[in-house]
Amino acid sequence: MTAADRCDRCGAQAYVRVVLLSGGELLFCAHHGRKFEPELKKIAAEIQDETERLTAVPASEEER
């Protein structure tokens, strides 16, 4: 996902992509991804969760 991907609910940067069993696709921010996760698991063929990127330390920072 890129910074251009936006949450369908609030317009924040998306970190969760949900591919639906019906063939559609939904994007959610970390907040809404967590909020709707129980529902999404029932209808999703695949859930791509990149919320760990929110807390990950960039490689360039790690060496300091």
Give 41's DSSP letter.
Answer: H
Enumerate residues 4-63 that contact Zn ion by CB under 5 A: 7, 9-10, 12, 29, 32
d(CA 44, CA 18): 6
Number of amino acids touching Zn ion (CB under 5 A): 6
d(CA 26, CA 15): 11
Nearer to Zn ion, 13 or 19 (CB): 13
Nearer to Zn ion, 17 or 32 (CB): 32
User: Is there a contact between 36 and 28 (Cβ–Cβ < 8 Å)?
Assistant: yes
Q: Which residues make up the interface to Zn ion (CB under 5 A)?
A: 7, 9-10, 12, 29, 32
